[in-house]
Amino acid sequence: MHPDMEKLIELQELETRIRHATGRLEQLPRDIAAMEEQLGATRSLLDRQQAASDRTAAERRQLEGEIQIIEDRISKYRSQLSDVKTNEQYKALLHEIDFHGERIGKMEDEILVNMEKEEDLREERLLLEQQLQKESARVDRETQAVRKEIEETGTELDRLRGEADALIALIDPEIYGTYRKIAAVRKGVALARAGENCRGCNVRIRPSVLGQVMAGKQIVYCDTCARLLYWEADPSIESKQEGSSG
């Protein structure tokens, strides 16, 4: 094989790993943000729940206050009963006492409903708090793992870029320039394994061209997709090239 082709094959593998690592580095902070957003949603659910609880308690206290005022009024009416002069006045006072007594009854029913609601809300809140605690612990753990992966991927990326740069320095600049141009328009895959067909575009390679590739004396391009062709009998190389067509 042409010596520069060997280096380009190695470079293409390095660049595939660099692309993968770069993609991870872009994705990982988004993963953390998504976890934090989910946690924030649970927190605001708990906040809304707490507000509903507070509102219900305030309503109950308001009712209790109003009942107190009405009870005071009823006591006043009762004390007036002994002072009235006429039957009509007496009946009117009794009517007021009944009327306000009924109001208190209705408000007490409301308070009962209110207290049941408070109890339900309290139970829901306990569950939510447990859920938040669990979620928060999980997010902490996973965030730590993701941060570690970011650090490791960053180190790996530096290493791969260093290796790629060292390799590029050893390749004929003109050949490297061609490789770069083809890679730019072929999703980073500038090389194709040659067989009966070009493995990059699947178009048949003329036997004379294939002969040149196999001889390995010069750089040979695919007539159809312009990728740099190489001959490699080792099937392990073939498997590495799979999925990189296009």
Strands 220-221 and 191-193: unpaired
Per-residue b/e over 122-141, b at no fewer than 16 CB within 10 Å? eeeeeebeeeeeebeeebee
Measured from the CB of residue 245, what is the shortest distance to Zn ion in angstroms? 9
Contact between residue 67 and residue 107 where contact means Cβ atoms under 8 Å apart: yes
Least distance between Zn ion and beta carbon 13 (Å): 19
Residue 221: φ, ψ to 5°: -110, 150
Question: Cβ closer to Zn ion: 50 or 224?
Answer: 224
Q: How far is the CB of 200 from Zn ion (least distance, A)?
A: 4
Cβ closest to Zn ion, residue 67 vs residue 225: 225
Kindly state whether residue 9 participates in binding Zn ion, applying the rule CB under 5 A.
Answer: no
Q: Tell which positions 162-221 bind Zn ion, by CB under 5 A.
A: 198, 200-201
Site track for Zn ion across 71-90, x = CB under 5 A: --------------------
Would you say 164 and 18 are in contact if contact means Cβ atoms under 8 Å apart?
yes
When binding is defined by CB under 5 A, the residue of 18, 222, 231, 232 that contacts Zn ion is: 222
If the CB atoms of residues 22 and 197 are measured against Zn ion, the closer one turns out to be 197
Q: What angle do CA 193, 194, 200 make, to 5 degrees?
A: 55
Q: In what order do the strands lie in the sheet with 220-221?
A: 191-193, 228-230, 220-221
Q: Does 224 bind Zn ion (CB under 5 A)?
A: yes
Which residues of the chain form contacts with Zn ion (CB under 5 A)?
198, 200-201, 222, 224-225
